[in-house]
Amino acid sequence: MTEETPGFDEQQPDVPSGATSDDAEPKAASSSEEGAAPAGDTGQDVALVAQLDQARTALNERTGDLQRLQAEFQNYRRRVERDRIAVKEIAIANLLTELLPVLDDIGRAREHGELVGGFKSVAESLESTAAKMGLQQFGKEGEPFDPTIHEALMHSYAPDVTETTCVAILQPGYRIGERTIRPARVAVAEPQPGAQTVKADESADADDKESGGPDEG
């Protein structure tokens, strides 16, 4: 008789056809990983949102810094331009101030009829150049005296003036734009003391005569 092998009749676990026991283990592992995935994704989303907020804050700060720098640069450019113009005007004014005695000599030579020949051509060229640089001459006889632009060197009284008046221009004044670099040096005349009272009395008498005199009682 043939002997039976011990343990041969023990029941083996059922295994589906086409599959082994090793195939079931990865499925169980993958199921556990899929259950834990949502928690990991939520943590990553929170971290990304926090990083995005930090990046936005940093961007806003850098944008603000850039805008401030641009404003400061524009203000700096404007200050430099104003300073450049001011320095240029001062330099021109200083140069022209040094030329004023020469222009005075030219004016006196013209008054005496000595501005002739080559000297006349040079003098007129110099005056033209000074005018192109912004130099303007002022001061005329008969204009009211203005202490801001006139310097009175002589003083007198005259019966034919009603206010302090420039009656002679001893030296013309010069300005560059609105800036006076030398006042006009003038002789002034004022109304004679009491002249206003006399004129007022004469005017009153003339009015009385035209109206037929005072009313008689």
Q: Which amino acid is at 163?
A: E
Q: What is the pTM (predicted TM-score) of this model?
A: 0.57
- The alpha carbon of residue 60 and the mean position of all alpha carbons in its chain are separated, in whole angstroms, by 29
- Give the percent of the chain with pLDDT over 90: 51
Tens of pLDDT, residues 105-123: 999 999 999 988 889 999 9
Nearest one of 107, 91, 94, 89 to 184, comparing CA atoms = 107
Given the DSSP bridges, would you call strands 165-171 and 173-176 parallel, antiparallel or unpaired? unpaired
Tens of pLDDT, residues 153-201: 999 999 889 999 999 999 999 999 888 999 999 999 999 886 555 555 5
Specify the pLDDT at position 8: 44
Tally of CB atoms within 10 A around 136 = 13
State the pLDDT confidence band at 28, using cuts at 50, 70 and 90.
very low
Rounded CA separation 24/75 (Å): 76
Rounded CA separation 170/152 (Å): 9
Rounded CA separation 170/174 (Å): 13
Rounded CA separation 96/103 (Å): 10
Kindly tell me if the per-residue pLDDT of 25 is higher than 80: no
State the pLDDT confidence band at 49, using cuts at 50, 70 and 90.
confident
Sort 148 into a burial class: Cβ within 10 Å, 0-12 / 13-18 / 19+.
exposed
Rounded CA separation 162/185 (Å): 21
Residue given tokens 């700096």 in the structure block? 76
Rg for the chain (alpha carbons), in Å? 53
Tens of pLDDT, residues 199-209: 555 555 556 55
DSSP designation for 144: B
